[in-house]
């Protein structure tokens, strides 16, 4: 069918369905934002901050890298079984229904290390809770994302719902960055049911509750398309995964998006250190910087829709990868210009980075949908969840390098007011990885 025929046949549901589905990315943005910005800062605060250190930074970074391995392996496994699931609720919704409570609980437990100070018990606790969190996140989010290209089949519909997904995910991310203000406000801790909770524990409890609420609209209003022969996947898990890599459009997309996500992970994780150590500000200001970046990116979404309607998405994405590599590397010089406050310099850099972040929020999802459509032409089957799984399998390993890179840079070059070189070098690392994203996508063959 052409796009006009699909639209005429009612192939693209309207705004109510778009919103109900898109709201399912609110928990993803919230939990990932809190994890990315605050988990390492909580377990490994700046050495001269006076806060409790639960785990050595290099150990934390190495553990996060290791934990991404089983998490990555789980993605194609979940994708394969989701593609082959047959139930009265469909192929995707059962995973969301039963996985969301586990995801919420594991997230809460992350913020309750058992020992006040560095201890092997904290290492074991962090490893176990993050592992359960990663696996349950995969079990929920992979099938969730597989719903979009199945229900929305035109380029216009996919851009529309992808933009709305970016808004709801962005709202979740904004709230996650606002956690910095809550952490500052509750610095003395709070009493809850007779227990003394530090502010990070409060953030964990709130995040878990909002996670459960966030999936309710999707579970209530989304209905998958009827089962048909295109959903009757005959492949084994190994052949199914290998078949995705034989798609000539998938590997360039995969490597590029993995590099973009690694670069942005570094940005999010290093900004609290930039704000508190280099600029001498507070966690609340760090959260405000991250929030401003996300808010500006969301305000740029209409511009992104206009540009992608005028120019091929491939070209727009390439330009943004290259520009991001240049702009974000400038954060290395945040304290180098005489008379320019570091906080102001950071704000200006993030202002210019916001349009590129906006593109990264919207365009990759629509490009992956094109890759899935191309796979259907090659194989005759709809295998959305396996593509999401393979994307995560390859993509999570380099993303897991981000905290490890930070931990090594902090350990060898410093993350203190007297010696902040490790924090600054994170900016160069992030910019260099964004440049790799540009190079990888040069080989993408589809011209849309």
pLDDT at residue 253, rounded to an integer: 94
Q: Is 147 exposed, middle or buried (0-12, 13-18, 19+ CB in 10 A)?
A: buried
Structural domain tally of the chain?
Answer: 1
Q: Is pLDDT at 4 greater than 80 in this prediction? A: no
For residue 362, is it within any domain? yes
CA separation for the pair 62, 406 (Å, rounded): 10
> Tokens 């511009």 sit at which residue?
303
For residue 226, is it within any domain? no
What are the tokens at 256? 């590029």
User: Do residues 276 and 269 lie in contact, with contact meaning Cβ atoms separated by under 8 Å?
Assistant: no
Counting Cα atoms < 13 Å in the Cβ hemisphere of 254 gives 22
> Tokens 């405000």 sit at which residue?
288
**Nearest to residue 42, comparing CAs of 172, 198, 261?**
198
What are the tokens at 445? 């063959």
Mean predicted lDDT score pLDDT of the chain: 86
Share of the chain above pLDDT 70, in %: 96
pLDDT at residue 394, rounded to an integer: 77
Q: Which residues of 276-301 are buried (b: 16+ CB within 10 A; e: fewer)?
A: bbbbebbbbbbbbbbbbbbbbbbebb
158: helix, strand or coil: helix
What are the tokens at 282? 């507070």
User: Do residues 129 and 422 lie in contact, with contact meaning Cβ atoms separated by under 8 Å?
Assistant: no
Q: Is pLDDT at 230 greater than 80 in this prediction? A: no
Q: Is pLDDT at 187 greater than 80 in this prediction? A: no
At a CB cut-off of 8 Å and minimum separation 6, what does 423 contact?
270, 273, 274, 277, 278, 409, 410, 414, 415
For residue 6, is it within any domain? no
**Nearest to residue 154, comparing CAs of 21, 9, 251, 298?**
9
pLDDT at residue 11, rounded to an integer: 58
pLDDT at residue 211, rounded to an integer: 95
The stretch 151-175 carries a mean pLDDT of 84
Q: How far is CA 266 from CA 66, 90, 400, 433, in A?
A: 17, 37, 10, 10
Please indicate whether residue 349 or residue 403 has the higher confidence score (pLDDT): 349
**Nearest to residue 426, comparing CAs of 412, 408, 407, 406?**
406
The stretch 172-195 carries a mean pLDDT of 81
Instruction: Write down the pTM of the prediction.
Output: 0.72
Q: What is the tens place of the pLDDT at every residue in 333-386?
A: 988 888 889 999 999 999 999 999 999 988 998 899 889 888 888 888 878 878
The stretch 171-195 carries a mean pLDDT of 81
**Nearest to residue 37, comparing CAs of 300, 288, 256, 205?**
288
- Worst-scoring range by mean pLDDT, 163-167, 208-212, 385-389, 433-437? 385-389
83 falls in which pLDDT band (50, 70, 90)? confident
CA separation for the pair 136, 223 (Å, rounded): 22
Helix (H) or strand (E) holding 195: strand 195-197
pLDDT at residue 9, rounded to an integer: 47
**Nearest to residue 217, comparing CAs of 156, 174, 164, 160?**
164
CA separation for the pair 144, 96 (Å, rounded): 7
For residue 448, is it within any domain? no
For residue 446, is it within any domain? no
381: helix, strand or coil: coil
User: Do residues 341 and 284 lie in contact, with contact meaning Cβ atoms separated by under 8 Å?
Assistant: no
Q: What is the tens place of the pLDDT at every residue in 433-447?
A: 999 999 999 999 988
CA separation for the pair 322, 311 (Å, rounded): 17
At a CB cut-off of 8 Å and minimum separation 6, what does 367 contact?
253, 313, 314, 317, 444, 446, 448
Rounding to the nearest 10 degrees, give the CA dihedral for residues 393, 398, 404, 409: 180
Q: Is 96 exposed, middle or buried (0-12, 13-18, 19+ CB in 10 A)?
A: buried
CA separation for the pair 7, 207 (Å, rounded): 38
For residue 33, is it within any domain? yes
Q: What is the tens place of the pLDDT at every residue in 14-26?
A: 788 888 999 999 9
pLDDT at residue 322, rounded to an integer: 96
Q: Is pLDDT at 2 greater than 60 in this prediction? A: no
Q: What is the tens place of the pLDDT at every residue in 301-341?
A: 889 989 988 899 999 999 999 999 999 999 999 888 888 89
Q: What is the DSSP letter of 90?
A: -
First-to-last C-alpha distance (Å) of the chain = 17
For residue 447, is it within any domain? no
Q: What is the tens place of the pLDDT at every residue in 285-300?
A: 887 888 888 889 889 9
For residue 178, is it within any domain? yes
The domain of 126 spans: 15-220+233-441
Q: Is 220 exposed, middle or buried (0-12, 13-18, 19+ CB in 10 A)?
A: exposed
Share of the chain above pLDDT 90, in %: 37
CA separation for the pair 342, 67 (Å, rounded): 34
**Nearest to residue 43, comparing CAs of 441, 410, 290?**
410
User: Do residues 141 and 28 lie in contact, with contact meaning Cβ atoms separated by under 8 Å?
Assistant: yes
CATH number at residue 271: 1.20.1250.20
Rounding to the nearest 10 degrees, give the CA dihedral for residues 148, 154, 155, 158: -20
User: Do residues 304 and 359 lie in contact, with contact meaning Cβ atoms separated by under 8 Å?
Assistant: yes
């Amino acid at each position: 069918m052409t796009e006009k025929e699909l639209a005429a046949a009612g192939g693209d549901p309207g705004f109510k369905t778009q919103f109900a589905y898109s709201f399912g990315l609110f928990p993803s943005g919230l939990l990932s934002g809190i994890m990315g910005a605050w988990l390492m800062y909580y377990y490994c605060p700046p050495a001269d901050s006076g806060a409790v250190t639960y785990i050595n930074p290099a150990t934390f970074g190495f553990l996060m890298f290791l934990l991404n391995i089983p998490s990555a392996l789980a993605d194609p496994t979940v994708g394969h079984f989701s593609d082959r699931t047959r139930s009265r609720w469909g192929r995707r919704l059962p995973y969301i229904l039963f996985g969301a409570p586990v995801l919420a609980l594991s997230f809460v437990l992350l913020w309750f290390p058992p020992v006040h100070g560095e201890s092997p018990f904290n290492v074991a606790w962090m490893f176990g809770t993050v592992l359960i969190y990663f696996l349950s996140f995969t079990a929920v989010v992979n099938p969730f994302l597989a719903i979009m290209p199945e229900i929305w089949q035109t380029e216009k519909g996919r851009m529309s719902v992808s933009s709305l997904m970016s808004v709801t995910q962005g709202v979740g991310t904004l709230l996650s960055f606002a956690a910095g203000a809550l952490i500052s406000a509750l610095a003395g801790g709070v009493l809850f049911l007779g227990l003394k909770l530090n502010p990070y524990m409060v953030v964990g409890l709130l995040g878990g509750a909002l996670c459960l609420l966030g999936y309710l609209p999707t579970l209530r209003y989304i209905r998958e398309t009827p089962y048909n022969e295109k959903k009757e996947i005959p492949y084994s898990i190994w052949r199914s995964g290998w078949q995705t890599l034989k798609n000539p459009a998938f590997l360039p997309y995969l490597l590029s998006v993995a590099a973009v996500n690694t670069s942005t992970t570094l940005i999010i994780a290093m900004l609290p250190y930039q704000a508190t150590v280099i600029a001498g500000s507070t966690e609340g200001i760090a959260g405000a910087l991250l929030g401003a970046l996300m808010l500006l990116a969301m305000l740029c979404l209409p511009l992104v829709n206009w540009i992608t309607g005028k120019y091929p998405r491939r070209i727009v994405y390439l330009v943004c990868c290259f520009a991001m590599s240049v702009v974000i590397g400038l954060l290395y010089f945040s304290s180098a210009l005489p008379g320019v406050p570091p906080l102001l310099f950071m704000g200006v850099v993030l202002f210019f980075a916001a349009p590129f972040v906006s593109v990264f929020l919207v365009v990759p999802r629509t490009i992956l949908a094109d890759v899935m459509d191309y796979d259907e032409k090659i194989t005759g089957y709809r295998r959305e969840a396996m593509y999401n799984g393979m994307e995560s399998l390859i993509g999570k390993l380099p993303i897991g390098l981000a905290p490890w890179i930070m931990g090594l840079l902090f350990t060898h070059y410093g993350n203190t007011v007297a010696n902040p070189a490790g924090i600054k070098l994170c900016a160069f690392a992030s910019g260099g990885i964004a440049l790799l994203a540009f190079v990888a996508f040069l080989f993408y063959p589809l011209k849309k």
